[in-house]
Amino acid sequence: MVLADLGKRINSAVSEVTKANVVDQTAVDGLLKEISNALIEADVNVKLVLNLRKKLKATIEKEEKPGVNKKKLIQKAVFDELCDLVDCKETELYKPKKKKTNVIMFVGLQGAGKTTTCTKLAVYYQRRGFKVGMVCADTFRAGAFDQLKQNATKAKIPYYGSYTEADPVKVASDGVEKFKKEKFEIIIVDTSGRHRQESELFAEMIQIGEAVQPNQTIMVLDASIGQAAESQSRAFKESSNFGAIILTKMDGHAKGGGAISAVAATHTPIAFIGTGEHINDLESFTPRQFVSKLLG
């Protein structure tokens, strides 16, 4: 089930129960079951759904006092639990500082939307007055540097890369060094995302991380990949300990649930969502706003 349908289904389950004259145990159980099924069908991890269901049930049943508006209580409880699902309170997002060098390293599998998102974020910060540069540290995929160069040129963002240097760690350090010398405030490092030999990819992420010492590492995750999002995120978390997630392709037919589970599995907040192929299709992510929109 795609995200938009998930919202509609949860909404109609809540309306159904709140429309009834008496909200009894059977009605509440029906609501909990419908919400759980909808979340599972959208690929949210089953354990997370069971936990949400338990908490929701406890909140709804706790308020048995007469005079308490049960319907309002149910609406609020559902909203709060959904916010909790996408909200990572443990880690605070890094905020780049002006007049300082802020190195932001991107990680993620090929096709997730890394290079596109690097450019989107570069434009986002450039518009906010930062001096931004991009470094292509993907020496594995032929054409990676050309793609970044093309994106950067279109967006008028200075870039660094090499057609001859095969060592991604060297290109990353050289690029960051060059931009640091030139007093760039935000240096975005794009990395490889090849599918083959994953252990090598993760080792490469560790080495680049050690070389450029990023202030923030962001994992780019395709929202449409379903359950696989969780294991993929765990593996990247171990190698690159990213501090933020950007979910891409939220405009498409993303089920989204797998990606939401990745937030919980890695205790890492979502910073932005990608909502299209265009350079401006990047929205900062706030759990309450996201859930409000989801529920329409």
Chain residues in the site for ligand GDP (CB under 6 A): 108, 110-116, 193, 248-249, 251-252, 274-277, 281
Query: Which of 185, 204 has the CB closer to ligand GDP?
Result: 204
Closest distance between ligand GDP and the C-beta of residue 265, in Å?
Answer: 20
Closest distance between ligand GDP and the C-beta of residue 145, in Å?
Answer: 12
Closest distance between ligand GDP and the C-beta of residue 7, in Å?
Answer: 19
Query: Which of 176, 221 has the CB closer to ligand GDP?
Result: 221
Query: Which of 49, 187 has the CB closer to ligand GDP?
Result: 187
Q: How far is CA 185 from CA 48, 69, 109, 149, in A?
A: 39, 52, 27, 19
Residue nearest to ligand GDP as judged by C-beta position: 274
Measure CA 245 to chain center. 4
Q: Terminal CA-to-CA distance of the chain, rounded, Å?
A: 16
Closest distance between ligand GDP and the C-beta of residue 111, in Å?
Answer: 5
Do 70 and 23 meet the contact criterion of CB atoms below 8 Å apart? yes
Query: Which of 9, 161 has the CB closer to ligand GDP?
Result: 161
Query: Which of 115, 215 has the CB closer to ligand GDP?
Result: 115
Query: Which of 120, 237 has the CB closer to ligand GDP?
Result: 120
Nearest in space to 232 (alpha carbons), one of 202, 190, 200: 202
Query: Which of 23, 155 has the CB closer to ligand GDP?
Result: 155
Residue whose pair of structure tokens reads 């080495």 in the numeric block: 207
Closest distance between ligand GDP and the C-beta of residue 108, in Å?
Answer: 6
- Please state, in angstroms and rounded to a whole number, the distance separating the CA atoms of residues 185 and 295: 38
The two tokens of residue 120 are: 């989107």
- Please state, in angstroms and rounded to a whole number, the distance separating the CA atoms of residues 292 and 27: 24
Query: Which of 158, 274 has the CB closer to ligand GDP?
Result: 274
| Alpha helices, DSSP H, located in the chain | 3-19, 25-41, 46-62, 70-86, 114-127, 144-155, 168-181, 198-212, 228-240, 257-266, 287-295
Closest distance between ligand GDP and the C-beta of residue 94, in Å?
Answer: 21
Q: 121: how many CB neighbours lie within 10 A of its CB?
A: 23
Do 224 and 11 meet the contact criterion of CB atoms below 8 Å apart? no
Q: Angle, nearest 10°, between helix axes 3-19 and 70-86?
A: 160
Closest distance between ligand GDP and the C-beta of residue 158, in Å?
Answer: 19
Closest distance between ligand GDP and the C-beta of residue 45, in Å?
Answer: 23
